[in-house]
Structure 1
Amino acid sequence: MASLPPPRRAFWGDVRFLVGIALVALSIAGVWLIVSASDHAVPALQATRTIAQGEELTSSDFQVVDVGLGSLADDYLGPEDVRPGSVAARTLQSGELVPTSALTDADSSRSTTVVIQSSTGIPEGVEAGTVVEIWQAPPLDEGRSYDVPRILVADVIVHDVLDQEGVLADTGSQLEVVIDRADVADVLAATTGGAALSVVPVGSGS
């Protein structure tokens, strides 16, 4: 008796087998892409405190975090990018990743810091990084009275609120503020001229 030839595999069976292999391959490729993307996280600097514009920067102001920035990696600072003499070009908030545009050299910075004394105290909520206006009331009658208050400098950034002790605590409150170098002369003239200075937070209805 003659033997029968083995039955041929159905065409659709072969297709299902090939599709199954393709799905497995796609699944493996997807997992590889996810793992590969996580491996592309780069170290970046994150501010550990609020840093006022014009403030000199040191490594202690930041912590290093691994972040997947992708194509934006070059737009943010890494651990080796803070050079001696660098200052903040704008105010950096605590927890913020530091972009390269937020750094500048001290020599090219247009701002500096001065200490002023507010004769009316410091409004609640004013702290490092707060934007304020400096108001002055020029003296009249050899300091026995004062003229109508007016804005001396607008959009000033508070660098630090200074605590005073003893007798000086009764004479007002001191702040270190970041101002444009072009405004330094006016602020110093008002201070030495005996004007009463006050700070008003921007947006408080001043």
Structure 2
Amino acid sequence: MATTVSRRRRRLDPRFFVGIVLVLGSVAGVWAIVDGARNTEPVLVAREALVPGQAVTAGDVEAVDVQLAASQEAYLTPDDLADGVVAVRTIAPGELVPAAAVGAAASAGTTTVVVRSALEAPAGVVPGTPVELWAAPLVAPGSYGEPVVVVERAVVAAVLEDDGVVADPGSRLELVIDRDEVADVLGHTAGGSALSAVPTSGGAG
């Protein structure tokens, strides 16, 4: 009798055990996926475009729960938002705010200037739009020289409306530029140059 039982045990197909292992592994994998989907963390997303040098406040962002796993540290969380934090590159509306896209205000190398562009701003020019700033120097009353690029990578901070009853031609734009470019821009403005902000296809980050 013992010999018969022993033979039956030896006849068990090893594939039976392999099948059990595969089923258990599949179930464990499904549970891991479901459990991971439930584990979300709050990160910040931009409500509107944030431009370089702009202070990032609680009103500019909102917290959303997302599943980021190990990459969570690459994005700003509600606990990371503190006074004096500014954007160091353009952050698009609806974009998760990368931790590397913000920094201390003291380290910002940009500032804003208001210029009047001789060209009307196209409808697509909104805060965050990258532009080149061109200047045609005034050489005589009503006569201008060859246009030159004054700022290669500016970012529109705001499209401003004229305060007067009669609007001057062109558009008033608040631009974000590097601090070392301010003198050139102000020099052209004071000298009566015709300035033109031309949208570019590249990003402003």
Could you say whether these structures have the same fold, taking a TM-score greater than 0.5 normalized by the shorter chain as the test?
yes
Selected match of 2:162 from 158, 161, 164: 164
Distance 1:15 1:171, change over 3 A: closer
C-alpha displacement of 1:199: 0.9
Distance 1:158 1:27, change over 3 A: same
Name the counterpart of 2:121: 122
Structural mapping, 1:31-110, within 5 Å: 31-110=30-109
The one-letter amino acid paired with 1:126 is V
List alignment gaps of at least 5 residues for structure 2: none
Q: Distance in 1 between matches of 2:118 and 2:165?
A: 14
Q: Distance in 1 between matches of 2:187 and 2:27?
A: 72
Cα shift readout 1:12-59 (whole Å, capped 9, x = no counterpart): 458687566545533442233123312332111111222122211111
Q: Which moved more, 1:171-180 or 1:144-153?
A: 144-153
C-alpha displacement of 1:112: 0.8
- SS of 1:46's partner is strand
C-alpha displacement of 1:184: 0.7
The answer on whether the counterparts of 2:130 and 2:201 sit within 8 Å (CA) in structure 1 is no
Name the counterpart of 2:179: 181
Name the counterpart of 2:196: 198
Name the counterpart of 1:30: 29
TM-score normalised per structure 1: 0.84
Structural mapping, 1:135-174, within 5 Å: 135-141=134-140, 143-167=141-165, 169-174=167-172
Cα shift readout 1:54-77 (whole Å, capped 9, x = no counterpart): 211111221212222122111111
Q: Distance in 2 between matches of 1:202 and 1:15?
A: 67
- SS of 2:167's partner is helix
Distance 1:18 1:172, change over 3 A: closer
C-alpha displacement of 1:172: 3.0
The answer on whether the counterparts of 1:54 and 1:88 sit within 8 Å (CA) in structure 2 is yes
- SS of 1:80's partner is helix
Q: Distance in 2 between matches of 1:189 and 1:167?
A: 28
Give the number of equivalent residue pairs.
200
List alignment gaps of at least 5 residues for structure 1: none
Q: Distance in 1 between matches of 2:200 and 2:25?
A: 56
Q: Distance in 1 between matches of 2:99 and 2:15?
A: 53
